Amino acid sequence: MKLRRLIPQLTLTLGFLIAAEKQRVLKPGWNLFSPDQDVQMGKEYAQEIERQFQIINDPALHNYVNRIGQRLVNGIEGQKFPFTFKVVNDPSINAFALPGGPMYVHTGLIAAADNEAQIAGVLGHEMGHVMLRHGTNQASKANLIQIPAMIAGGIFDKGGITGTLTQLGIGLGANSVLMKFSRTAENDSDLFGARLVHNAGYNPVELARFFEKLQAEGGRDSRFKEMFASHPNPGNRIKNHACPN
Ligand SMILES: [Zn+2]
């Protein structure tokens, strides 16, 4: 008897929770940097990335990824970061974004995706990290004593930002606060990305399918590990994002 009474109640509660998730307002957290400083920082790190990795100049491939990216950018409400989309010649399945908008997709990810909606899903997710400013939020929390002094000391006026930040451990490595996010941040980026993907007319569930596919194959193929190292699965991606709005 008790259980029978409980089930409709639970269903109701779950319904409210799902509705709340759909309406959840996503905003950047506390941050010592300004959005302009995210942009300046991202530009400087982008130069470093583009020295380290081979960027594909093939216009057809670049235009393809850029077109998907711009479709998603159009769905962002309010102030946007100046997003750029580039393809990195690397067989590992990965994509990453720098603060302020530079975004990179590996050729391995494009090859592994089953459809365009999956690529859009990954891009949307990465754009979530940029728009919600997860990188500089984490850097701020980890270095709240040193960063105000560095900003006051004029690092953003003199250039050479990355050198100074790297001394604090705010670099581009896989475990850097700029590149590896908390599960909460992953969850928020999933939701942000799913909304963008939905606005652009793609099926948002494809991102979850792509992550599940990678996870299923991840144990056997080292190419998948990089993606999961920097984007820990918050759990239940399909259930959470089957129908975002
Ligand atoms: Zn992520």
Question: In this structure, what token pair is assigned to residue 34?
Answer: 């300004």
For the chain, the first-to-last Cα distance in angstroms comes to 37
pLDDT at residue 1, rounded to an integer: 46
Distance (Å) from CA 237 to ligand 1 centroid: 12
All residues with CB under 5 Å from ion ligand 1? 186, 189, 231
Q: Which of 50, 77, 116, 126 is catalytic?
A: 126
The rounded Cα 31 to chain-centroid distance in angstroms is: 17
pLDDT in tens, 160-183: 788 888 888 888 877 788 888 888
pLDDT at residue 167, rounded to an integer: 82
* Residue of 162, 109, 114 whose CA lies nearest to 139: 162
All residue ranges of the chain with pLDDT < 50 are 1, 14, 221, 223, 241-245
Using a 10 angstrom Cβ sphere, with 0-12 exposed, 13-18 middle and 19 or more buried, the burial of residue 18 is: middle
pLDDT at residue 224, rounded to an integer: 53
Distance (Å) from CA 191 to ligand 1 centroid: 11
Distance (Å) from CA 189 to ligand 1 centroid: 6
Query: In the Cβ-directed half-sphere of 122, how many Cα atoms lie within 13 Å?
Result: 30
pLDDT at residue 131, rounded to an integer: 97
Task: Identify the bridge partners of residue 102 per DSSP, sorted by sequence position.
Answer: 84
**b vs e for 138-177, b when ≥16 Cβ sit within 10 Å of the residue's Cβ?**
bbbeebeeebeebeeeebbeeeebbeebeeeebbbeeebb
Distance (Å) from CA 96 to ligand 1 centroid: 8
- Tokens 């942009």 — which residue? 39
pLDDT at residue 143, rounded to an integer: 87
126 catalytic, yes or no? yes
Task: Identify the bridge partners of residue 96 per DSSP, sorted by sequence position.
Answer: 104
CA R_g for the chain? 19
Distance (Å) from CA 150 to ligand 1 centroid: 28
State how far the Cα of 90 lies from the Cα of 86, in Å rounded to an integer. Answer: 12
pLDDT at residue 23, rounded to an integer: 74
Distance (Å) from CA 117 to ligand 1 centroid: 17
pLDDT at residue 245, rounded to an integer: 31
Task: Identify the bridge partners of residue 84 per DSSP, sorted by sequence position.
Answer: 102
pLDDT at residue 243, rounded to an integer: 37
The rounded Cα 190 to chain-centroid distance in angstroms is: 8
pLDDT at residue 164, rounded to an integer: 85
Classified as helix, coil or strand, 18 is helix
